[in-house]
Amino acid sequence: MEALIASAVGLMTAAGIYLILRLRTFPVIVGLSMLTYAVNVFIFASGRLTVGLPPILDSTASGYTDPLTQALVLTAIVISFGMTAVIVMMALGAFLSTGSDRIDDAAEDRAETGGRAE
């Protein structure tokens, strides 16, 4: 199971990184989502994997999983929704006001302003 989780984290990270290196906003947003999955699973898995031992106190339970990483990841999931929404909005605003969804400053713009952010 550990190998499966590790390979999934690895692949999702790779996909996320590849997508955030694309030149348009939408793939970058998707890439960040993929990275979010990868990071959340990473943090979750750092509490070690357990099957069938939920973090609910019960007198009959034989053991518990690590509740702390779960609590960390739970808020991370919700916050990442908020952050995704913000960058989506920024991407939308940028596209609507410039007519382009390129993520890099166009080379000719850079040449015009001497590479200075105006």
Q: Do 70 and 18 contact (CB within 8 A), yes or no?
A: no
Work out the angle at residue 8's Cα, subtended by the Cα atoms of residues 6 and 10, and round it to the nearest 5 degrees.
Answer: 70
Q: How far is the CB of 64 from another protein (least distance, A)?
A: 5
Please name the residues in contact with 14: beta carbons below 8 A apart, sequence gap of 6 or more: none
